[in-house]
Chain A
Amino acid sequence: MSMIAGLIDYLRGNEKKSAVVAKERLQIILAHERAGRGTATPDYLPALQEELMAVIAKYIHIDRDSFKVQLEKHDQYDVLELNITLPDKKNSRQ
C-alpha cells in the first residue's frame, strides 16, 4: 500500500479494516461451532441438570452457579460429569 493511503488511514483515526473484522468474527463463531460439533449437547441435558439439582437441594443448599453438568465425548466412551461446588461450612444449612 502506498504511503498516501497509509496517511489517509492515519488521519481517519486508523479505522479497522473490514477484512480484519471478518477474520475476527469468523474465528469466534467457528471456535464456538467446532466446540459443539460431534459433542452436540443431548436434548435431555438441561432437564437432567434441573432434576439433579432439585434432588441435591433437598439435602444441601447450593447455588445454581456452583452446579455444572457436562457431557464429554472420548473415542471409546462418553463421560457425564457433575461438578458441584459445596458451600463453606459456616454458610451451609445444618
Chain B
Amino acid sequence: MAKVIVVTSGKGGVGKTTTSASFSSGLAMRGNRTVVIDFDVGLRNLDLIMGCERRVVYDIINVINGEVSLKQALIKDKNCDNLYILPASQTRDKDALNLEGVERILNELKETFDFIVCDSPAGIESGAFTAMYFADEALIVTNPEVSSVRDSDRILGILAAKSKRAVEGLEPVKEHLLVTRYDPKRVNTGAMLSVVDIQEILRIPLLGVIPESESVLQASNSGTPAIHLDKSDVAEAYRDVVGRFMGEELPMRFINEKAGFFKRLLGGH
C-alpha cells in the first residue's frame, strides 16, 4: 500500500525542500518507487534543488485541470532510477490547487508508487493545508530556534485536527520530528536548544538530526540533493533518517561536538 508523506514545518526556510529532495532520493536509492510533489504553487523550488528545472514542461496544475496526463508531467530524476518529480506551477496561484484534484492525482500515483512525498509550502494556508490533508505520515522539519518550534507545534495541532485522517476518525497521521541546522557546539555552550529540549516540547518521536553544514548550500548550488554528496555529514544524516524511516534502529549521530585535533590525538571522543 502506497504511503503519502508530507514534509512540513509551518515556518519557512527551515529545510523542507532540502529534506524532501534528500528524503525522496534516499527512499528511491533503497529501491522504493518514489515520487516527490512540489506543493508550493507560485514559488516552486523543488525543481531547482533536484536539478531538473530545465526539464519542467508541465506541472501539477496542468494535471489537475486535465490538460495533460500525469505521465506527461512527471520528470524522471537524473540520479535515481526509481524517483520522479511532479513540479508545482510557477505562474498560477494557490487556489488552483483543490482537494478533489489533488486526491485524484494521489490516487493515480498510488497505483504505481510506494512512497509519495509531498513538499509543503511554508505557512498554514491553503497550499500547506492541501499538502498535509491526505498524509499518512508527516516529517516535521524544525530548527533549534523558538519561532520554528512554535510553528511546528501549530502544524502538529492542525494535523491532529484537520487532516483527512483526523476528520474521518481514522488512525492519526504518524508524526516524525526532524531537527535540521543543528549545531552541537552551540548546544554545548547553552546558546542553542538541544534536540532533547525540542523533543520534550513537541512530544513526538525523533526521526533524525541534520547538522548545520556548508554542504547544504553546495548541494543546492549544484542542483544535487544533499544526500548524494560524498563525505558529507548531511548526506550521512539523511541516509540515517531514511534508514530509520524504513524501520532500522540506528544510533543518533551528529548530535555531539566533533572532537578537535588535539582531542582526537589524545584519543578523546
Instruction: Give residues in A with beta carbon < 8 Å to B.
Output: 1, 5, 17-20, 22-23, 25-27, 29-30, 33-34, 37-38
Chain A residue numbers with a CB within 8 Å of B161 are 37-38
Q: Which of B91-99, B102-110, B121-129, B192-200 contacts A (4 or more CB under 8 A)?
A: B192-200
Report which of B153, B157, B188, B193 forms a contact with A23, defined as CB distance below 8 A. Answer: B193
- If the complex has contacts A34-B153, A38-B161, are A25 and B190 also in contact, measured as CB distance less than 8 A? no
Determine if A5 and B189 form an interchain contact, defined as CB atoms under 8 angstroms apart.
yes
| Chain B residue at minimum C-beta to C-beta distance from A17 | B190
Chain B residue numbers with a CB within 8 Å of A38 are 157, 161
Report which of A1, A17, A23, A30 forms a contact with B150, defined as CB distance below 8 A. Answer: A30
Determine if A19 and B191 form an interchain contact, defined as CB atoms under 8 angstroms apart.
yes
Chain B residue numbers with a CB within 8 Å of A25 are 146
For the complex, what is the distance from the CA of A22 to the CA of B200, rounded to whole Å? 13
30 A/B residue pairs, CB under 8 Å, sorted by A = A5-B189, A17-B191, A18-B191, A19-B190, A19-B194, A19-B197, A20-B190, A22-B145, A22-B146, A22-B197, A23-B193, A23-B197, A23-B200, A23-B201, A25-B146, A26-B149, A26-B150, A26-B201, A27-B201, A29-B150, A30-B150, A30-B153, A30-B201, A33-B150, A33-B154, A34-B153, A34-B157, A37-B161, A38-B157, A38-B161
Determine if B187 and A19 form an interchain contact, defined as CB atoms under 8 angstroms apart.
yes
- If the complex has contacts A25-B146, A33-B154, A34-B153, are A18 and B201 also in contact, measured as CB distance less than 8 A? no
Interface size class of B (residues with CB under 8 A): 10 to 19
| Chain A residue at minimum C-beta to C-beta distance from B187 | A19
- If the complex has contacts A26-B146, A30-B201, A38-B161, are A19 and B193 also in contact, measured as CB distance less than 8 A? yes
Beyond A18-B191, A19-B192, 15 additional pairs, beta carbon < 8 A: A1-B188, A5-B189, A19-B191, A19-B193, A19-B194, A19-B197, A20-B190, A22-B193, A23-B193, A23-B197, A23-B201, A26-B149, A29-B150, A33-B153, A34-B157
Determine if A18 and B146 form an interchain contact, defined as CB atoms under 8 angstroms apart.
no
For the complex, what is the distance from the CA of A55 to the CA of B149, rounded to whole Å? 45
For the complex, what is the distance from the CA of A5 to the CA of B193, rounded to whole Å? 19
Chain A residue numbers with a CB within 8 Å of B153 are 30, 33-34
Chain B residue numbers with a CB within 8 Å of A20 are 190
Q: Among residues 147 to 165 in chain B, which have CB atoms less than 8 Å away from a CB atom of chain A?
A: 149-150, 153-154, 157, 161
For the complex, what is the distance from the CA of A5 to the CA of B189, rounded to whole Å? 9
Chain A residue numbers with a CB within 8 Å of B191 are 17-19
Find the residue from A1, A18, A22, A37 having the highest chain B CB count within 10 A: A22
